[in-house]
Structure 1
């Protein structure tokens, strides 16, 4: 359904360092960068997530979060660890979330600008 999404950030270098590290754990790479934006996607493809420099950022409220697909539970844990090492804050450590489904394994963090992001896999081991 979604083709791509963009997030406004106050400090492009800080945000890019965070997303370089966290998204690499899930197999995503920078697919473009300039002075005003950085895009992420799969190697050789277009951007699915763009970070755009903005003079002011209004973070969406409680109902908004962005979930990235992981291919293993280990990737979920790696995503979480990388996020915390690069300026993210915990919003739910890695683990099963039985309220979301029997096999739903996720980790939740706030990125350096305060966006709620998640890495998730919803498959049996």
Structure 2
């Protein structure tokens, strides 16, 4: 079995409670869950014992990474991409590209793009 390349990825959030509210809702649309909560962090993954994404409290005016960085999450269906997008917008995210086919990436590449409350660019993609 080939090992995964990444153990997990951490991103900074200016307000942990706001980040948790956003990611609890958004990750649930993709089959994920919060697997831990600490005083300055929270983790998300596909199961309680598998953290893929961590939120780390980083108070300050600029917690988002530089342009060009984004996180792409796997969706099991186009409907899951649609739910991800709608839920993100309903929980403080901003539109960065509505759900739809992206033939310039591939003939079956169906994705949606949002920006989270801290400015992180997110994508859900089904192929």
- Of 79, 87, 95, which residue of structure 2 is paired with 1:90? 95
For 1:42 and 1:92, how far apart are their aligned partners in 2?
A: 25
CA displacement 1:62-111 (0-9 Å, x = unmatched): 21000000000000000000000000000000000000000000000000
Aligned match of 1:53? 57
1:7 matched residue in structure 2: 11
TM-score using structure 1 length: 0.94
Number of aligned residues = 122
Q: Could you tell me how far apart the structure 2 residues matched to 1:105 and 1:34 are?
A: 35
Moved more, 17-26 or 58-67: 58-67
CA distance in 2, matches of 1:118, 1:44: 23
Ranges in structure 1 where 5+ consecutive residues have no aligned partner: none
Q: CA deviation at 1:11?
A: 0.3
Cα distance, 1:48 vs structure 2: 0.5
Tell me, what secondary structure is at the counterpart of 2:24?
helix
Correspondence for 2:70 among 59, 65, 74:
65
In 2, Cα distance between the equivalents of 1:9 and 1:44?
Answer: 22
Aligned CA-pair RMSD:
0.9
TM-score by length of 2: 0.93
CA distance in 1, matches of 2:63, 2:17: 18
For structure 2, the residue ranges without an aligned partner over 5 or more in a row are: none
Runs of 4+, deviation exceeding 3 Å: none
